[in-house]
Chain A
């Protein structure tokens, strides 16, 4: 592989990582600017979302906010201020005779949590503040 090819491949990998990061946080645009050096970088990700105007504010995805995936009675597996791993089960919703698991969309600390109660579909259940792991700070 030539030096040029190697460099292209490296940039490609870095950019894909950045896009993956944006995807995880549902970001459609990312802008970086270094005023002193006069450099700037802008990335944009086209969204597949075709929500209707009426759905706004409900199942609109906001990074770190968990909206209820089902109607039913919720029981929490975690407490406020707890650290949760991405994709781990934070609560279960008893939807008549089935159980719907509520997963953490990102890793982080639970800063807000709706107390155990009946929940509607799409209701705001919790807020997670992003952190890579419970070690760093």
Chain B
């Protein structure tokens, strides 16, 4: 393939990750950056960089016109949106295509559909993916909600139709709580997402979060890269992810993958996607949503399959076809990723600010670090607190946990507090080591106390 110019509309570790894939594929990378990011590692190692706005994301990384103007003046062929920011904004995907650039991600209509959670539920169900019992369409008011609640039964979840990231969501145990919580979540949804449409899903007690990584060519062919387990969460935010899931059997894995790839093929799904499931105690998985972007936790799938998912994304987008077949994808061993954040786990994960004074990242066999950090990096209040990811691979889960624990012990980040002590504690926890957990696992601990003890 001839060399193309790829503009990266993101920052931090994922920007660096995309630059790395571009370089290995022989493509040129163009970084857009805010004023605050001009001297960061990704901006320096990209083939070129363009400052597009001030530190505030509204005037830079969320400013579509600025990004498109940068694409125009740099002569870019394609735009990679990374995750977060504009990655799942259908208007952006559409504007990119309309301006004549290739959007490295699903089509705008697909992003739009999957962003409307209630409608996505309906379509996925129709295409043959098991969804949770719940409302068939969107709910406008409490009267409609009460009617559905009677059929579904309590406890249940109220969710914002266009929500995500742990916001616009509440669990209710009875009709009284439903009447109290529905208007509150509706107002929160209106404020956060600009829509007060809601939907209802049955609540699965102590579920595990399982997700399947897929890649489609947009013409009916969809391949998968096996599943990830992301049950270690705090307030619906993932903290640690692993692949494969320690509890799924080969039969469950194959049947899930078969149903998902067939269904998404029917929807002509294009580029990267993640189908998220909740799995109940009996092992039945129900889809909760489809994320139309590459995800933070993609490295664990890369580590067990030996495939570069960002490269696959780029090749799929540029050639309009998948660069590999399902038969070419297999997995080996076990991988675990931890999200290292500038937060203090000993004081309720409060966000930290500061400058990196001293930095040593781990290395050695089977350890990978995806981070934009270096000595002198300023952790600003403008952006997400995640500063990087440490990923360990080994032949089985037990040895992988030991390797990750070893990697954490080698890591030195001075200048502010990080979530590393939390992971150190978690990797020593007996239940975690036996993979005996669910998405509410961390709720039963007083984390402040546990971490201060260590």
Contact = CB atoms under 8 A, between A and B. Distances in A.
Contacts of A98: 65
A91 interface: no
Q: Taking chain A's interface residues, is the majority helix, strand, or loop, or is none over half, making it mixed?
A: loop
B39 interface: yes
Given A52-B36, A121-B66, A72 B55 contact: no
Interface stretch (B67-75, B79-87, B141-149): B67-75
A123 B35 contact: no
Q: Taking chain B's interface residues, is the majority helix, strand, or loop, or is none over half, making it mixed?
A: mixed
B103 to A, nearest CB: 15
Interface string A111-126: 0000000101111000
A59 B39 CA distance: 14
Report the interface size class on chain B.
Answer: 20 to 34
Interface in B48-84: 50-55, 60, 64-66, 68-70, 72-73
Given A70-B69, A96-B69, A123 B378 contact: no
B324 interface: no
Contacts of B38: 54, 58
B99 interface: yes
A26 B65 CA distance: 30
Contact of B380 (A52, A71, A121): A52
Interface in A87-137: 94-98, 118, 120-123
Interface residues of A, number: 20
A98 B51 CA distance: 17
Contacts, number: 64
Given A52-B55, A52-B380, A71-B73, A95 B65 contact: yes
B66 A70 contact: yes
B368 to A, nearest CB: 28
Nearest to A53: B378
Given A96-B65, A121-B53, A55 B378 contact: no
Nearest to B59: A121
Interface in B309-346: none
A52 to B, nearest CB: 7
Nearest to B50: A120
Given A58-B35, A72-B69, 16 more contacts: A53-B378, A54-B36, A54-B38, A55-B55, A58-B51, A71-B50, A71-B52, A71-B53, A71-B66, A96-B69, A96-B72, A97-B65, A118-B73, A120-B52, A121-B51, A121-B66
27 contacts: A52-B36, A53-B378, A54-B36, A55-B35, A55-B55, A58-B35, A70-B66, A70-B69, A71-B50, A71-B53, A71-B66, A71-B69, A71-B73, A72-B72, A72-B73, A73-B69, A94-B69, A95-B69, A96-B72, A96-B99, A97-B68, A118-B73, A120-B50, A121-B51, A121-B52, A121-B54, A122-B35
Interface of B: 35-36, 38-39, 50-55, 60, 64-66, 68-70, 72-73, 99, 378, 380
Interface of A: 52-55, 58-59, 70-73, 94-98, 118, 120-123
